[in-house]
Amino acid sequence: MTGDTQADPNGVPQPAAREDNRRRRKPAILEIDGRRLKPATLMMGHGYDPALSEGSLKPPIFLTSTFAFESAAAGKRHFEGITGIRPGGSDGLVYSRFNGPNQEIAESRLALWDEAEAALIFSSGMSAIATTLLALVQPGDVIVHSAPLYAATEALIGRILGKFGVQWLDFPAGASEAEIGAVIERAKTLGRVALIFLESPANPTNVLVDVDAVVARRDFVFAGEDHVPPIAIDNTFLGPLWHRPIAHGADLVIYSLTKYAGGHSDLVAGGVLGRQQLITTIRMMRNTIGTILDPHSAWMLLRSLETLELRMSRAGENAARICAWLRDQPQVERIVYLGFPADDRQRDIYERHCTGAGSTFSLYLKGGEAESFAFLDALKIAKLAVSLGGTETLASHPAAMTHLSVPVERRKALGIDDNMVRISIGCEDADDLIADFAQALRAIGCAAA
């Protein structure tokens, strides 16, 4: 059912006429007259051949736990891919904890955006991160990471992997190249540096990490060594449209596909993309622990990927207009939005790495919790909910919600104050949203009076 990338995911020569329960499919069309087709085009058909599914234009949802082999020899060959005897995954469909047509089509399409060699999809962003860490980290190892990270990622590294003897060292997201280098050097004295884990922009501070600098320092510190720690980056906030870290030398890109990629606030999923060799290692762990995405959600994700560029572009344009308007309102203290870089260093990182400022930002109101709550409670279009990246605009209060469990001192250091409201702009009409924010800002005054 799936396309050429899946037939030959690793560039490993395959037998010309082989038995395969996915049968032979048409070669993938990736260019026309030398013109390389854009992901926005390829999202509608890449990796799927209707002729293999009764001509169904859209892939059916394959609700099956297991797949019939053409022969015993084919079953053996497929298992060589599952167990890792051959890299690149199985060339046949085996069992739904390992692979399935909907998941493989979604993976082949997801990989196109970041020009990754391979991709895997997972039951959530956190299961993607957990499976990656379990696959790459051993007791005694050190993880170097940018800070802050998504709260659950920090808990996973610090509290859960810590129980198994894994150590960590961090550097602030906006750190200079020298600071990053110093932390990597120190980590090396503590144990094997298993991986460098980044999140850019950091959540919820919106501070960008200089991926170029991390790559340069990693390459310098580990030059000529057998083990060079891979760089993994959580690209949920800007990817895949506005930030392509693989092009800057990152080895793995991780997504909560629940956010912009899923984009309709109706599914939970995760993805890991990158070099084939690392993906094979992570795939083995996914096969073992069963963190693959289910076929139905994978199908929904395929639907979402068709409009990814449309949705993200519209949300990004909306956010640019709304932030420019919000910035001048008397009730607003400041806005932390990538389109208004905080200093020259952040501007420089932004210009080197990003092609857009995204649609998620922090709004600091004049006042405190009472003013923030009055604003949030008055919103009529924007919904009061955590999460981001959906077609609808969402607003939340990090200090009282997502970051309630963070100690007050650390919250202060991160700028998660009582007057901070987190907003994710969706695809609505920008002027309607401005009207909504205008009346909600006016409502603060009424509540205070």
Nearest distance in Å: CB 387, ligand PLP: 7
Closest approach, Cβ 199 to ligand PLP, in A, equals 6
CB of 39: closest distance to ligand PLP in angstroms? 21
Closest separation between CB of residue 150 and ligand PLP, Å? 4
Per CB under 6 A, the list member of 124, 200, 372, 393 interacting with ligand PLP is: 124
Decide if residue 416 touches ligand PLP (CB under 6 A).
no
User: Burial, 230: exposed, middle or buried (Cβ in 10 Å; 0-12, 13-18, 19+)?
Assistant: buried
User: Which is nearer to ligand PLP, 90 or 203 (by Cβ)?
Assistant: 203
Question: In this structure, are residues 156 and 130 in contact, taking their beta carbons and an 8 Å threshold?
Answer: yes
Q: Which residue, 206 or 236, has its beta carbon nearer to ligand PLP?
A: 236
Q: Which is nearer to ligand PLP, 8 or 392 (CB)?
A: 392
Q: What's the Cα-to-Cα distance from 293 to each of 124, 157, 175, 232, 308, rounded to whole Å?
A: 8, 23, 35, 20, 19
3-state secondary structure the chain: CECHHHHCCCCCCCCCCCCCCCCCCCCCCCEECCEECCHHHHCCCCCECHHHHCCCCCCCCCCCCECCCCCHHHHHHHHHHHHCCCCCCCCCCCECCCCCHHHHHHHHHHHHHCCCCEEEEECCHHHHHHHHHHHHCCCCCEEEEEECCCHHHHHHHHHHHHHHCCEEEEEECCCCHHHHHHHHHHHHHHCCEEEEEEECCCCCCCCCCCHHHHHHHHHHHCCCCCCCCCEEEECCCCCCCCECHHHHCCCEEEEECCCCCCCCCCCCCEEEEECHHHHHHHHHHHHHHCCECCHHHHHHHHHHHHCHHHHHHHHHHHHHHHHHHHCCCCCEEEEECCCCCCCHHHHHHHHHHECCCCCEEEEEECCCHHHHHHHHHHCCCCEECCCCCCCCCEEECHHHCCCCCCCHHHHHHHCCCCCEEEEECCCCCHHHHHHHHHHHHHHHHHHHC
* 50 or 158: CB nearest ligand PLP: 158
> Taking CB under 6 A as the rule, does residue 268 contact ligand PLP?
yes
Q: How far is the CB of 425 from ligand PLP (least distance, A)?
A: 15
Asked if residue 270 lies in contact with residue 375, where contact means CB atoms within 8 angstroms, the answer is: no
- Considering the complex, state which of residue 260 and residue 437 has its C-beta at the smaller distance from ligand PLP: 260
Between 137 and 378, CB nearer to ligand PLP: 137
CB of 276 to ligand PLP, least distance (A): 24
For ligand PLP, the binding residues in 60-119 under the rule CB under 6 A are none
* Binding to ligand PLP in span 209-238, by CB under 6 A: 234, 236-237
**422 CB-side CA count, 13 A:** 22
The 144-173 site mask, x for binding ligand PLP (CB under 6 A), equals ------x-----------------------
Indicate whether 126 belongs to the interface with ligand PLP (CB under 6 A).
Answer: yes
CB 305 within 8 A of CB 261: yes
Closer to ligand PLP at the Cβ: 78 or 422? Answer: 422
Q: Nearer to ligand PLP by C-beta: 90 or 256? A: 256
Minimum gap (Å) between residue 369 Cβ and ligand PLP: 23
CB of 128 to ligand PLP, least distance (A): 8
CB of residue 297 to ligand PLP, shortest distance in Å: 11
Tokens of 338: 């990538």
- The span of 47-55, 208-216, 222-230, 253-261 binding ligand PLP (CB under 6 A) equals 253-261
Q: How far is the CB of 113 from ligand PLP (least distance, A)?
A: 17
Q: Does 270 bind ligand PLP (CB under 6 A)?
A: yes
> Considering beta carbons, is residue 22 or 353 the nearer one to ligand PLP?
353
Tokens at 119, concatenated: 């991709």
Residue 86 vs 353, nearer CB to ligand PLP: 353
Residue of this chain nearest to ligand PLP (CB atom): 125
Contact between 304 and ligand PLP by CB under 6 A: the answer reads no
Task: Establish if 125 lies at the interface with ligand PLP (CB under 6 A).
Answer: yes
Q: Is 199 or 251 the residue whose CB approaches ligand PLP more closely?
A: 199
Give the tokens for residue 160. 């859960």
Contact between 362 and ligand PLP by CB under 6 A: the answer reads no
Measured from the CB atom, the residue of 28 and 121 that comes closer to ligand PLP is: 121
Select from 131, 132, 200, 203 the one that contacts ligand PLP (CB under 6 A): 203
The residue ranges that bind ligand PLP (CB under 6 A) are: 124-126, 150, 199, 203, 234, 236-237, 256, 258-259, 268, 270
